[in-house]
Amino acid sequence: MPVVRSSEGTVHEIHGARFVSYAAPRTGSEELCAWRGEIPAGTKAPAHTVSREEVFHLLTGELLITLDGRTERVTAGDTVVVNAGAAFAVENPTDRTATSWVTTSVGLTAELADGTRITPPWAN
């Protein structure tokens, strides 16, 4: 039985945010990936288009989420479903770090507005 202890999460940092990966092929998951995101106060991550559906659940804090040009304020307990092909951006306009839990399928890639394609190591 694959059990990933909280201390065994793999940490990645990009665009001012911190991602702690728990479920991925390297930890025994065949189809899904899951990670905790830590979005510091004042962070504005660049918009990106995702190749696979993501389920983004806000654990703590408050964020502005822009999905296909529509911006919504989300608060702790809210869940955003990001469909494959959607343009997605996250901003933390508050003075405290927000934390999220994200689940997607293995193989997720993201494309930035300038055409740069990213293969996030925490989702593969």
Over residues 68-104, the pLDDT tens digits come to 999 999 999 999 999 999 999 999 999 999 999 999 9
Cβ–Cβ contacts within 10 Å for residue 96, how many?
10
Two tokens, residue 35: 């990670």
* pLDDT tops 80 at residue 122: no
Q: How many residues does the chain have?
A: 124
pLDDT (0 to 100) of residue 120: 81
Q: Are the beta carbons of 20 and 72 closer than 8 angstroms? A: no
Show the domains of the chain with their CATH numbers.
10-118 (2.60.120.10)
Alpha-carbon distance of 107 to 55, in angstroms, equals 15
d(CA 123, CA 103): 9
Is pLDDT at 123 greater than 80 in this prediction? no
Q: What CA–CA distance (Å, rounded) separates 95 from 69?
A: 24
What tokens appear for 45 in the block?
A: 């991550």
Q: Which residues, including other chains, have CB under 8 Å from residue 45's CB and lie 6 or more apart?
A: 15, 16, 17, 39, 89, 90, 91
Give residue-wise pLDDT tens across range 6-53.
999 999 998 889 999 999 998 999 999 999 999 999 999 889 999 999
